[in-house]
Amino acid sequence: MSNETMIIVVLIIIIIITICCFSCMSCFSVVSLIPMLQSTNSVNGYRFYENVTKMGSDQKSSVTDGDDNGCINNISVNDATGRCNQQSDCQGFFVYDSINPGRVCFKTKIDTDNKTYTTDKFKEDNPNSGYFVKE
């Protein structure tokens, strides 16, 4: 889902909630849709986990051109998905900025049931960080 589409969806939800609340109807059913919309955020076959820095005991992938940590600087999410798809051991990647080109760290042995979330300070410095995992 593109950023523009996501903005439109959020605006529609806000309008529905506003109409719902002003007409004295229960807003619970509308508000309960928000987590479902967030969980479907994906790009090029990768699910995005916002503000997640680690997935279990993940390890660096052997991605081409990666540094000692399996990271590459100044690449976009689209470039990262292509590079990850080219490596048999790459299951996903962590990005410091999911919107603009930046540092991307490629990972293997990912456990999506064991997430580590960013600290408030890290989130303040990197508000668009997160983890992309192959779907």
Confirm if 101 and 128 have CB atoms less than 8 A apart: no
The length of the chain in residues reads 135
Domain boundaries, the chain: 1-40, 46-134
52-55 and 115-117 strand pairing = antiparallel
CA dist 19 and 16 (Å) reads 5
pLDDT at 33 over 70: no
CA dist 94 and 110 (Å) reads 11
pLDDT in tens, 112-130: 999 999 999 999 999 999 9
Entry pTM: 0.70
pLDDT in tens, 37-91: 444 488 889 999 999 999 999 999 998 899 999 999 999 999 999 999 999 999 9
Q: Where are the beta strands (DSSP E) in the chain?
A: 42-43, 46-50, 52-55, 59-60, 71-75, 92-95, 102-108, 115-117, 130-134
